[in-house]
Chains A and B, each alone.
Chain A
Amino acid sequence: MSKFSARSGLGRLAAIALVSTALVLPAAAANLRMAWSQDATGLDPHAQTAFSSLRLLELIYEPLVRLDADLNVVPAVADSWEFSEDGLTLTFKLDPDATFSDGTAVTSADVKASFERLLDEATGAAARSNFLSIESIDTPDEATVVFNLSQPDAPILVAMATINAAVVPAKAIEDGSVATTALGSGPFVLDQWDPNSKEELSVNENWAGGDIAYDGISISVLPDETAILASLRAGQTDFALLNDPLVATLVPNEPNLQLNAVPGLAYNVLQLNPSRPPMDNLKVRQAMSCAIDRQDILDTALVGEGKVTGPLTMPAYASDPSTLFCYEQDLDKAKALMEEAGVDGFEAKVIAATGEPPVASAEAQVLQSQLAEIGIKLDIELMELNVYVDRWLAGDFDMAVAQNGGRPDPYPMYNRYFTKDGNLVNVSNFKDDEIDSLLQQGREETDIAKRKEIFSKFEHRLAELSPWLWLSTSNIYTAQLKTVSGFESSPTGTLFGLTKVTLGE
Chain B
Amino acid sequence: MSYLARRLLTFPLILLGVSLLVFFSIRLIPGDAITAMLGTEAGLLTPAQRQALAAYFGIDQPVVVQYGRWLTGLLRGDLGVSVTYGRPVLDVILERFPLTLELALLSMLIALAVGVPAGVLAATRKEKASDVGIRVLAMLGQSTPNFVVGLLIIYILSVYFGFIPAMGAFTSLWVDPFANLGQLIFPAITLGFAFAASVTRISRSAMLDVLSDDYIRTARSKGAPGRSVIWHHALPNALIPVVTLSGVEFGYLLGGAVIVEQIFALPGLGRLTLDAIAQRDYALVQGSVLFIAFNFLIVNLLVDLAYAALDPRIRLGAR
How would residues 74 to 92 of chain B score, 1 for a CB under 8 Å from any chain A CB and 0 otherwise? 0000000000111000000
- Asked if B178 and A17 sit within 8 Å, CB to CB, the answer is yes
Separation of A275 and B42 alpha carbons in the complex (Å): 22
Separation of A386 and B34 alpha carbons in the complex (Å): 10
Checking A17, A122, A179, A389 against B176 with a beta-carbon cut-off of 8 angstroms, the contacting residue is A17
A227 interfacial by beta-carbon distance below 8 Å: yes
Checking B36, B42, B183 against A41 with a beta-carbon cut-off of 8 angstroms, the contacting residue is B36
B37 to chain A, nearest CB (A): 6
- Asked if A121 and B158 sit within 8 Å, CB to CB, the answer is no
B301 interfacial by beta-carbon distance below 8 Å: no
Q: Closest 7 CB pairs between A and B?
A: A220-B168, A386-B31, A4-B182, A230-B158, A390-B30, A126-B41, A124-B53
Separation of A392 and B43 alpha carbons in the complex (Å): 9
Within B26-72, the residues touching A (CB, 8 Å) are 29-32, 34-46, 48-50, 52-53, 56
Checking B36, B84, B154, B267 against A227 with a beta-carbon cut-off of 8 angstroms, the contacting residue is B154
A10 interfacial by beta-carbon distance below 8 Å: yes
Q: Which residue of A lies closest to B156 (CB)?
A: A230
Separation of A391 and B31 alpha carbons in the complex (Å): 9
Separation of A5 and B34 alpha carbons in the complex (Å): 44
B245 interfacial by beta-carbon distance below 8 Å: no
Q: Name the B residues within 8 Å of A431 (CB-CB).
A: none
A323 interfacial by beta-carbon distance below 8 Å: no
- Asked if B49 and A124 sit within 8 Å, CB to CB, the answer is yes
- Asked if A222 and B168 sit within 8 Å, CB to CB, the answer is yes
How would residues 392 to 410 of chain A score, 1 for a CB under 8 Å from any chain B CB and 0 otherwise? 1100000000101100000
- Asked if B166 and A385 sit within 8 Å, CB to CB, the answer is no
- Asked if A223 and B164 sit within 8 Å, CB to CB, the answer is no
Q: Which residue of A lies closest to B171 (CB)?
A: A1
B89 to chain A, nearest CB (A): 13
One of A189-197, A282-290, A314-322 at the interface: A189-197
- Asked if A121 and B52 sit within 8 Å, CB to CB, the answer is yes
Q: Name the B residues within 8 Å of A196 (CB-CB).
A: 84, 267, 271-272, 275
Separation of A392 and B30 alpha carbons in the complex (Å): 11
- Asked if A125 and B164 sit within 8 Å, CB to CB, the answer is no
A72 interfacial by beta-carbon distance below 8 Å: no
A13 interfacial by beta-carbon distance below 8 Å: yes
B252 interfacial by beta-carbon distance below 8 Å: no
A to B contact number (C-beta, < 8 Å): 182
29 contacts between A and B (CB under 8 A): A1-B166, A1-B171, A7-B163, A8-B163, A10-B178, A17-B178, A41-B37, A122-B48, A123-B52, A127-B44, A128-B44, A128-B46, A194-B267, A220-B167, A220-B168, A223-B262, A223-B265, A226-B151, A227-B167, A230-B154, A230-B157, A230-B164, A384-B29, A384-B31, A384-B278, A393-B42, A393-B43, A423-B45, A424-B44
- Asked if B151 and A389 sit within 8 Å, CB to CB, the answer is no
- Asked if B31 and A390 sit within 8 Å, CB to CB, the answer is yes
Contact-size category for A: 35 or more
7 extra interchain contacts, Cβ-Cβ under 8 A, other than A195-B275, A224-B151? A4-B165, A17-B178, A48-B37, A49-B41, A386-B31, A386-B36, A389-B35
Known: A50-B37, A198-B168, A385-B39. A234 touches B162 (CB 8 A): yes
Q: Which residue of A lies closest to B37 (CB)?
A: A41
Q: Name the B residues within 8 Å of A84 (CB-CB).
A: none
Q: Name the A residues within 8 Å of B157 (CB-CB).
A: 230, 234
- Asked if A2 and B44 sit within 8 Å, CB to CB, the answer is no
Q: Which residues of A contact B (CB under 8 A)?
A: 1-5, 7-8, 10, 13-14, 17, 35, 41-42, 47-50, 121-129, 179-180, 194-198, 219-224, 226-227, 230-231, 233-236, 384-387, 389-393, 402, 404-405, 416, 423-424, 427
- Asked if A13 and B169 sit within 8 Å, CB to CB, the answer is no
Separation of A222 and B168 alpha carbons in the complex (Å): 6
Q: Name the B residues within 8 Å of A235 (CB-CB).
A: 162
Separation of A404 and B271 alpha carbons in the complex (Å): 27
Known: A223-B262, A230-B158. A386 touches B280 (CB 8 A): yes
B307 interfacial by beta-carbon distance below 8 Å: no
Separation of A405 and B263 alpha carbons in the complex (Å): 28
Separation of A2 and B175 alpha carbons in the complex (Å): 11
Q: Name which of A4, A231, A391 has the most chain B CB atoms within 10 A of its CB.
A: A4
Q: Which residue of A lies closest to B175 (CB)?
A: A1
- Asked if A389 and B31 sit within 8 Å, CB to CB, the answer is yes
B296 interfacial by beta-carbon distance below 8 Å: no
B170 interfacial by beta-carbon distance below 8 Å: yes
A402 to chain B, nearest CB (A): 8
Q: Name the B residues within 8 Å of A2 (CB-CB).
A: 176, 178-179
Known: A222-B167, A222-B168. A126 touches B44 (CB 8 A): yes
Separation of A231 and B157 alpha carbons in the complex (Å): 10
- Asked if A224 and B262 sit within 8 Å, CB to CB, the answer is yes
Contact-size category for B: 35 or more
B264 interfacial by beta-carbon distance below 8 Å: yes
- Asked if A197 and B168 sit within 8 Å, CB to CB, the answer is yes
B279 interfacial by beta-carbon distance below 8 Å: yes
Separation of A226 and B154 alpha carbons in the complex (Å): 9
Say what secondary structure dominates the interface of chain B: helix
Q: Which residue of A lies closest to B47 (CB)?
A: A121
B159 interfacial by beta-carbon distance below 8 Å: yes
Known: A10-B178, A124-B50, A126-B44. A194 touches B169 (CB 8 A): yes
Q: Which residue of B lies closest to A387 (CB)?
A: B30
Checking A231, A385, A387, A427 against B158 with a beta-carbon cut-off of 8 angstroms, the contacting residue is A231
- Asked if B278 and A386 sit within 8 Å, CB to CB, the answer is yes
Q: Name which of B36, B48, B169, B263 has the most chain A CB atoms within 10 A of its CB.
A: B169
B155 interfacial by beta-carbon distance below 8 Å: yes
Q: Name the B residues within 8 Å of A125 (CB-CB).
A: 49
Checking A123, A128, A427 against B43 with a beta-carbon cut-off of 8 angstroms, the contacting residue is A427
- Asked if A49 and B154 sit within 8 Å, CB to CB, the answer is no
Separation of A337 and B229 alpha carbons in the complex (Å): 85
- Asked if A386 and B29 sit within 8 Å, CB to CB, the answer is yes
Checking B164, B267, B275, B278 against A231 with a beta-carbon cut-off of 8 angstroms, the contacting residue is B164
Separation of A3 and B178 alpha carbons in the complex (Å): 10
Within B167-220, the residues touching A (CB, 8 Å) are 167-171, 176, 178-179, 182-183
Q: Which residue of A lies closest to B46 (CB)?
A: A121
Separation of A86 and B315 alpha carbons in the complex (Å): 92
Checking B162, B166, B182 against A8 with a beta-carbon cut-off of 8 angstroms, the contacting residue is B182
- Asked if B265 and A389 sit within 8 Å, CB to CB, the answer is no
Separation of A230 and B155 alpha carbons in the complex (Å): 7
Q: Name the B residues within 8 Å of A223 (CB-CB).
A: 262, 265, 271
- Asked if A4 and B167 sit within 8 Å, CB to CB, the answer is no
Q: Which residue of A lies closest to B159 (CB)?
A: A233
Separation of A423 and B165 alpha carbons in the complex (Å): 47
- Asked if B44 and A129 sit within 8 Å, CB to CB, the answer is yes
Q: Name the B residues within 8 Å of A220 (CB-CB).
A: 167-169, 265
- Asked if B178 and A389 sit within 8 Å, CB to CB, the answer is no
Known: A41-B279, A123-B49. A4 touches B179 (CB 8 A): yes
B307 to chain A, nearest CB (A): 39
Separation of A193 and B221 alpha carbons in the complex (Å): 68
Separation of A389 and B36 alpha carbons in the complex (Å): 8
A96 to chain B, nearest CB (A): 34
Q: Which residue of B lies closest to A427 (CB)?
A: B43
Separation of A362 and B248 alpha carbons in the complex (Å): 38
Separation of A176 and B7 alpha carbons in the complex (Å): 48
